[in-house]
Amino acid sequence: MMPLRLQGIPIKEAKIRTEEALNIVSMNDRKSSFPRELSGGQQQRIAIARALVTNPKIILCDEPTAALDSKSLAVVMEELRALADKGKAVVAVTHDPRLKQYAHRIVEVNNGQVTDESDFDSRQI
């Protein structure tokens, strides 16, 4: 609720929007948990909810799956992909090639050279 309260959103509305964001990432059951009580994947999902609560047009993710096991990686990336499929602009910067299968578009930078795989179709992987 903190980002909303900082924007001056009334508590009642902030609670509703926070619960909606937690539902999107399937974490409503952990709304009273402290960060130390959550796994790495759950903490990443809470971070996504925190970003969503203000209804941004674009979500920027810096290594969104760093230090996650493959199961948690899949959960986080499927949630980000679902957001993108619903019209949110999601940008993930990563070194992890496992994330390619979740992308609508891939732009790579190698030794200062930019390659754009605009025709990339993740369903082909």
Q: What is the pLDDT of residues 30-62, one digit of tens each?
A: 989 998 999 888 888 888 888 889 888 899 999
Q: Which CATH fold topology does 2-124 show?
A: Rossmann fold (3.40.50)
Global pTM?
0.72
- Domain boundaries in the chain? 2-124
Q: Alpha carbon 115 to chain centroid distance?
A: 24
Give Cβ neighbours of residue 110 (< 8 Å, ≥ 6 apart): none
Grade residue 123 by pLDDT with cuts at 50, 70 and 90. Answer: very low
Q: Alpha carbon 19 to chain centroid distance?
A: 16
**How far apart are alpha carbons 87 and 14 in whole angstroms?**
23
CB 67 within 8 Å of CB 86 = no
> In the prediction, which pLDDT does 119 show?
54
Q: Lowest-confidence range among 9-18, 88-97, 112-121?
A: 112-121
pLDDT in tens, 80-105: 898 899 899 999 999 999 999 999 99
